[in-house]
Structure 1
Amino acid sequence: MWAHRLGAAADFSPSQVPTPAGRRYPVSTVAEFDDMSVLRKPELDDVVNSESTSSVRSSSSLGQAVTGAAMPTDAVDPEKCQRMAQQEEPGSLQPDPPFSIFSRVQKIFIVFIAALTTVIPPLTASIYYPVITELAKDLHVSVADINLTITTYLIIQGIAPSFVGNLSDEAGRRPALLIALIIYIAGCVGAAVKANYALLFVMRTLQSAGGSGTIALSLATVSDIVTSAERGRYTSYVQMGWMLGPSLAPVLGGILSQYLGWRSIFWFLAIYASVVWVTSFAFLPETSRDIVGNGSIPPQRWNMTPLAYLRRPTKREDAAVPSKSEAKASSTRVSINPLNSLKLFGDKETCVLLLYSGLIYASSYMVLSTLSDQLEEIYGLETIPVSLCYLASGFGAVTSVLLTGRILDWNFRRHARLVGMEISKQKQQDLSRFPIEVARLQISIPALMLAGVSLIAYGWTMQSRTYLAAPLIFLFLQSFGSSSSFSGFNNLIMDLNRKKPGTASAAMNLARCWMGAGGTAFATPLVKNGGIGWLGVTIAGIWFVFSPLVFLVIKSGARWREEKRLREMSETEAPSGEMTAT
C-alpha cells in the first residue's frame, strides 16, 4: 500500500511523495495538497472502497504530522486522487517539454531566412561606395554631401534597432520584421525613382530605419529556438550574412552601376528585400518565447503564416507555457521602450562585452573603408578589380562561419563534461554554475590575437608595396580572426540575456554601429597622415590596451552573474512583501 510505504520511509521529504502509480509529485504539487482541502470534494464520496479507506486511515497520522492538519479518512480514493491530480496539474506528471518543438530542418530554414535578412544593413551601407562620385555629379552636389548620407545611415543604424528589438520582444519577431522590411522597401523605391539630393537623404534614412533592425531580429530568433549548447553554430550562420555584406556590396555596386546605372543599385535592394518579405510572410513562423513558448502555443491569428492560419492548430500537450513574467496575452497592450537596450550598458559584464565586441567590429569597418583608396593609390587598380579585392575579406568571414560555430559548441560540450552537466539540444542548460565566460572566450581570445597580428602584417605589406597577394592573404586572415572572435562575444552576450534577446541584439547593434561610425571617421585621416601601416598597429594596440577587461570577465563573470541574480530576486520579492504587509 502506498501509505504503508510512505510511513516506512526513514527520511521524509515533501518533494518525494509517492503516488499510486509509483510516480512522484513535485514540491509544487504537494504544497497544493498541504491543507488537503482539495481532496474533500463531493464527487469523491461515492468512490470510496474498503481498501482505500483502510489505506488512508493507516496514513492519517503521518498526514497530520506532515501537514499539521488531520487528513480525512473517509474521502480519498488513491486512484481518483491520481486522476484528479493529472487533470488539475497535467504538467506535473508529464516530462518536461522540449526547449523547442521545431525540427532540425525547420531550425535550419528559420536560420536561413534570418541570414538573408542580416545581409541587408551592411549591403545597403556599402553598396554605393563605387558610385559616390557619379551620384555627386548627377545630383549636382559635392562628394562630402554624399558622404553625409553614409554618416546619417550609420547613426540611424545604431538607433533604430533599439525600437525594433524592443518591439519584437513585446509583439513578436514576425510582425517586427515585416514592418521593418516594408519601411526599408519604401526607402529603396523612393531613392531609385527620384533624382533629388534632399529626397535621397530622406530615403537613405528610411532605408537605415527599416533595414538596420533585421540583425537584432535575426539574433533574437536564433536565441528563441536553440539552446546554449548549439547556439554557436546557428549564430555563426546568421553572422555570415552581415559579415559578407561589406565584402560583397562594393562588387555588386560596381557591376550594377557600370552596366545599368546607379539607380539599378536601389532597384536591386528593393527587389531583394521584397523577396525576403514574401518568404518571411509566407513561411516564417513566430518564434518569440514570450508569445509561443517553445513553438507549440499558437500565436494570435494575425501573427500566423497563411498555412498555419488555415490549419488553426490547437495547443499541443507538450506546450511550454510562458511564465507569469514572460506571458503576454494577445490582448495585452504593447509597450515599446527603446531605452531598454541602453539599460544593458548598466550591467558590468554585458557592458564590457558590448564595448569590446564593438571595437572588433569597428576595426573591420576601418579596414574596408580605407581599402579602396589604398588599392587605387598604391596598385593603380580600377573599380572592378578593386571591388574583387574585397572578396578576400568575405572569404575569411565565410571560413570563420564554417569552423567557429562548431568549435564554440564543441568547447561548450567539453566544459559541460568537466562540470558534470548533462547536455541536451532540447533542454536549455542551467548556466548559473557553468563557466560560460570561459567556454566562449577561450575561442575568442586566440582568434583575436590572430586578427591583430594579421592586421599589422596587412598594413605594412601594403605600405611597402609588396605583391598584391601578400596584403590580400593577411586581409583574409584578419577577417577570419575578427569574425571568429566576434562570434564568441556575440554568443556570450546572448547567453547572458536569454530572457530579452531582441533587446540584447539591439544593444549589440548600437555598440557596433556607433563605434564603427567613429572608427571609420578616424581611419581616413590616420591613413592619410601616417600611412596604412599604422592603421593596423593602432587597431591592434587598442585591442591590447583594453584586453585586461576581457580577462576580468573570465575571472569575475560568474560572481557578477550571481550578484545580479540575487539583486533581481530581492527586487522581485520586495513589492510582493510590501503587498503582503499591506
Structure 2
Amino acid sequence: MAALSVATTTVGGDGGGEAPASPHHVFSPRQRGGVVWLVSWAAMFSGLSANIYFPALEEVAKDMHVTYSTVLSSITIFLVLQGVSPSFWGPLSDVYGRRVIFVGTFACYVLANLGLLLSRSFPVLLFFRALQATGAATTIAISCGVITDISTSTTRGGYMGKNQMIRTTAQALGPAIGGALTLKTGYHNIFALLLAMGLGTLLLILIFLPETHRCIAGNGSVPLHGPHKPWVYSLRGQPHADASAERTPRPRLRPAAFLAPLRMLGQPTFAVSLFVGAYVFAVQSVALAVAARMLRLRYGYNVLEIGLCFLPNGLGCMIASLLHGQLLDTAFRAHEATYRAHHKLPLTIPITPTSAPSFPFERARLSIAPLILLSFALATGLYGFAFRGPLYWVLVCSFVMGAAQAMMLTVTGTLLVDVAPEEAASATAANNLARCALGAVATAVAERFVERLGIAGAFGTLAGGVVAVTPLLGVVWRWGPGWRVQRARRRERRREVEEGKRGVRSRADSGVSRVDVRDGEGEVVVEPKTEGEVVVETRREV
C-alpha cells in the first residue's frame, strides 16, 4: 500500500512575520469623494432625461399630432431600454474597465440628444429616446461599480447615498426645468440643454476620471495606460503609481456574461430584493405618469406650474438619499463592531463576503426597510384621495412617496453590491432590469388603470400591493445569509474548474468552508482554522 505524505500550511492569521496589508484603495477620502461626485453627476442623466420630459407630454402630443396615450409609449420605451442596456454594458465594464465604457455610453447619449433636438416626427423621436436611454441608463450601473471599486462595506452606504442624492436632485429639478423650457421656448430646447450638459460631462470624464476596476487599476496604484488613463495624469503624473502593485485577475469575456443579470434574478436573495424594490419603483412610475394630466384637469395648471408640482417628490428623494446613506453606514458599523468583538477579527481585515462569510449583511441593510415600505404604502393610498382636496395634500403625499422610494432603492442597491462586490456592475444592471421592466409595464397601463378604477381606487390598490410584498423581506432576512454562503461555494468551485489550477491554493480570504480538489496526483483540502486564517493540507501518494 502506498504511503501518504501530508503537508500542512497555515496561511493568514495574525502571524508576526506577515507584511502589513495594503490599503483597500490608495485614494485619500477627498479623492474618493471627488470620484464619487463625478460618477454620480454622470449617473444623474438617466433620471434627469426621464423626468425633464414629463411636463412636456401634452405639448409633444399636440406637436406630433398623436394622442396622450401614444406619447406615453416614449416613456415606456425609455424605461425598457433603461432596464435592458446595462445588461449589455455592465458585463463589458466588469471586463474592460469602467472608464472606457463610461466614455462610450456618454458619446451615445450625446448623439441621441442631437437627434432628439432635430426630430420632427414621432417615430424619429421614439427612436432617439431609445438611443438616449441606452446611453444614459448604463451610467448608473457603472457609477455603482466605481463606488464598489474604491470603497469598503463600512463606507459604501454613505457613498451610495450620495450617488442616489445627486441623481434624485436632478430628478427633482428636471420637471421644473422642462416645464419652464417648454413654456418659454418649446420642448425641443429640453434636448438642447441635455446635449450641452452631456458634452460638458463627457469632457470632465475624459480629463479627470481614472480607471478604477481592480483587475486593471488594482487598489489605485497600478500605472494606467492608454484609454484607462485620464488626461490630467498626462500633465501631472499618476499619484501613488507603483509598477510592482498587484491587481486582481481580469475575467474573460464570455457570451454568458451578458446573461449575468438574468442569472442573478434567478437567485433567491436577488429575486426577492429586486422584486420588492421594482414594485415600489413601478408604483412611483404610475404616480409620475398620470400626475401631469391630473394636475391639468383638476387644477388647470400650465406646463411650468405642473413642472413645479414635481419638485416635492424629487426633494423627498434627494433628502432621503443623503440621510439614509448615513443611516445605512451607522447601522452597518454597529453590526460590524459586534461581529468583530465576537469573532476577534482585527480592524485590518475588511468586512467582505469572502473575509467574513458569516457577517449578517442582509440584516445590517434591511433593518428599517419594513418601516420604509409601510410609510410608502400609506402615502400611496392617500395620494389618490389627495386629488379631491387642496393641492398641498398632493404635494405632501408626493414628498413622502419620493423619500420612501429613494430609501428603498438605496437599501436594495447597497445590499446587492455588498453580497456580490465582484459583480457590482452586473448586480446594478440586474437592479435596473427588474425595476425598469416592471416600471415600463406599469407606465404602459397607467392611463387605462386609472380610468377604470378611478384615481383613488387605483392608488388604493397599489398601496395594498406594497403592504403585500413587505413580508417578502423577511425571507431574505431569515435565509439570505445561507443562500449567500452557498453561492460563494458554487462560485469558488466553478472558478477552480474554469482556471484548471492544480496543487495547493491558499485562499485565506475564501468564504468556502471546505474544498476538496483532486488533480490526479493527490488531494488538497482547504479548510479555515480561524477567521482570517486557513489551513491548507496536501495529501499525496508516495
**Fold agreement, TM-score > 0.5:** yes
Partner SS for 2:220: coil
CA shift digits 1:43-95 (9 cap, x unpaired):
xxxxxxxxxxxxxxxxxxxxxxxxxxxxxxxxxxxxxxxxxxxxxxxxxx531
| 1:341 paired to 2:261 | yes
Do the aligned partners of residues 316 and 520 (structure 1) sit closer, same or farther apart at CA in structure 2, a change above 3 Å counting? Answer: same
Residue 308 of structure 1 deviates from its aligned partner by 1.4
- Equivalent residues in 2 for 1:226-305, closer than 5 Å: 226-305=151-230
Residue 358 of structure 1 deviates from its aligned partner by 0.9
| 1:327 paired to 2:250 | yes
Query: Is the Cα contact below 8 Å between 1:161 and 1:509 reproduced in 2?
Result: yes
CA distance in 1, matches of 2:153, 2:243: 21
CA distance in 1, matches of 2:442, 2:151: 33
Which moves more between the two structures, 419-428 or 221-230? 419-428
CA distance in 2, matches of 1:459, 1:141: 27
CA shift digits 1:531-576 (9 cap, x unpaired):
2222332222212222232101101111111222222333344555
Query: Is the Cα contact below 8 Å between 1:114 and 1:218 reproduced in 2?
Result: yes
User: Which residue is 2:50 aligned to?
Assistant: 125
CA distance in 2, matches of 1:381, 1:515: 30
Query: Is the Cα contact below 8 Å between 1:408 and 1:443 reproduced in 2?
Result: no
The counterpart of 2:332, out of the listed 394, 412, 416, is 412
Query: Is the Cα contact below 8 Å between 2:377 and 2:463 reproduced in 1?
Result: yes
Residue 369 of structure 1 deviates from its aligned partner by 1.3
| 1:527 paired to 2:450 | yes
Query: Is the Cα contact below 8 Å between 1:352 and 1:549 reproduced in 2?
Result: yes
Residue 385 of structure 1 deviates from its aligned partner by 1.8
Residue 23 of structure 1 deviates from its aligned partner by 7.4
- Equivalent residues in 2 for 1:422-501, closer than 5 Å: 427-429=350-352, 430-462=355-387, 465-501=388-424
Letter in 2 for 1:560: W
Letter in 1 for 2:520: A
Among all aligned residue pairs of Structure 1 and Structure 2, give the percentage whose two residues are the same amino acid. 29
CA distance in 2, matches of 1:502, 1:398: 23
CA distance in 1, matches of 2:351, 2:217: 16
Do the aligned partners of residues 432 and 460 (structure 1) sit closer, same or farther apart at CA in structure 2, a change above 3 Å counting? Answer: same
Do the aligned partners of residues 131 and 469 (structure 1) sit closer, same or farther apart at CA in structure 2, a change above 3 Å counting? Answer: closer
Do the aligned partners of residues 401 and 495 (structure 1) sit closer, same or farther apart at CA in structure 2, a change above 3 Å counting? Answer: same
Partner SS for 1:240: helix
The counterpart of 1:514, out of the listed 396, 416, 437, is 437
TM-score by length of 2: 0.84
- Equivalent residues in 2 for 1:386-401, closer than 5 Å: 386-401=306-321
Residue 490 of structure 1 deviates from its aligned partner by 1.2
User: Which residue is 1:189 aligned to?
Assistant: 114
CA distance in 2, matches of 1:315, 1:272: 32
User: Which residue is 1:150 aligned to?
Assistant: 75
| 1:374 paired to 2:294 | yes
Residue 13 of structure 1 deviates from its aligned partner by 8.7
Residue 419 of structure 1 deviates from its aligned partner by 2.1
Which moves more between the two structures, 540-549 or 172-181? 540-549
The counterpart of 1:364, out of the listed 254, 267, 284, is 284
CA shift digits 1:341-379 (9 cap, x unpaired):
111112211121112111121121111112222222222
Do the aligned partners of residues 419 and 128 (structure 1) sit closer, same or farther apart at CA in structure 2, a change above 3 Å counting? Answer: closer
Letter in 2 for 1:392: P
CA distance in 1, matches of 2:209, 2:259: 28
The counterpart of 2:322, out of the listed 402, 416, 420, is 402
Residue 521 of structure 1 deviates from its aligned partner by 2.4
Letter in 2 for 1:504: A
The counterpart of 1:113, out of the listed 31, 38, 51, is 38
Do the aligned partners of residues 348 and 480 (structure 1) sit closer, same or farther apart at CA in structure 2, a change above 3 Å counting? Answer: same
CA distance in 2, matches of 1:320, 1:556: 39
- Equivalent residues in 2 for 1:302-317, closer than 5 Å: 302-311=227-236, 313=238, 316=241
CA distance in 2, matches of 1:218, 1:303: 16
Query: Is the Cα contact below 8 Å between 1:170 and 1:334 reproduced in 2?
Result: no
Residue 124 of structure 1 deviates from its aligned partner by 1.5
Residue 402 of structure 1 deviates from its aligned partner by 2.6
Residue 14 of structure 1 deviates from its aligned partner by 5.5
CA distance in 1, matches of 2:375, 2:228: 45
CA distance in 2, matches of 1:334, 1:103: 35
Residue 245 of structure 1 deviates from its aligned partner by 4.2
Residue 111 of structure 1 deviates from its aligned partner by 1.1
CA shift digits 1:173-222 (9 cap, x unpaired):
11101110111111111221242333323222211111111111111111
CA distance in 1, matches of 2:11, 2:149: 33
CA distance in 2, matches of 1:223, 1:496: 11
- Equivalent residues in 2 for 1:16-95, closer than 5 Å: 24-25=16-17, 93-95=18-20
CA distance in 1, matches of 2:87, 2:8: 48
TM-score by length of 1: 0.79
Residue 319 of structure 1 deviates from its aligned partner by 7.1
Query: Is the Cα contact below 8 Å between 1:444 and 1:489 reproduced in 2?
Result: no
Which moves more between the two structures, 551-560 or 232-241? 232-241
Do the aligned partners of residues 198 and 573 (structure 1) sit closer, same or farther apart at CA in structure 2, a change above 3 Å counting? Answer: closer
CA distance in 2, matches of 1:477, 1:190: 36
Residue 133 of structure 1 deviates from its aligned partner by 3.4
CA distance in 2, matches of 1:147, 1:454: 24
Query: Is the Cα contact below 8 Å between 2:162 and 2:321 reproduced in 1?
Result: yes
Letter in 2 for 1:540: A
Residue 110 of structure 1 deviates from its aligned partner by 1.0
Query: Is the Cα contact below 8 Å between 2:41 and 2:167 reproduced in 1?
Result: no
Q: Kindly indicate whether structure 1 or structure 2 has the higher relative contact order, using CA contacts under 8 Å at least 6 residues apart.
A: 2
CA distance in 1, matches of 2:284, 2:447: 13
Letter in 1 for 2:91: N
User: Which residue is 2:514 aligned to?
Assistant: none
The counterpart of 2:275, out of the listed 355, 368, 378, is 355
CA distance in 1, matches of 2:293, 2:129: 24
CA distance in 2, matches of 1:273, 1:336: 32
Do the aligned partners of residues 16 and 448 (structure 1) sit closer, same or farther apart at CA in structure 2, a change above 3 Å counting? Answer: closer
| Number of aligned positions between the proteins | 493
Query: Is the Cα contact below 8 Å between 1:232 and 1:406 reproduced in 2?
Result: yes
CA shift digits 1:91-116 (9 cap, x unpaired):
xx531111111111111111111221
CA distance in 2, matches of 1:276, 1:314: 23
CA distance in 2, matches of 1:564, 1:333: 21
CA shift digits 1:497-521 (9 cap, x unpaired):
1001111111111111111111222
Letter in 2 for 1:581: G
Do the aligned partners of residues 166 and 101 (structure 1) sit closer, same or farther apart at CA in structure 2, a change above 3 Å counting? Answer: same
Residue 317 of structure 1 deviates from its aligned partner by 5.5
Structure (1 or 2) with the greater strand fraction: 2
Query: Is the Cα contact below 8 Å between 2:272 and 2:473 reproduced in 1?
Result: yes
Do the aligned partners of residues 176 and 425 (structure 1) sit closer, same or farther apart at CA in structure 2, a change above 3 Å counting? Answer: farther
CA distance in 1, matches of 2:281, 2:519: 49
Partner SS for 2:308: helix
Letter in 2 for 1:228: S
CA distance in 1, matches of 2:337, 2:237: 42
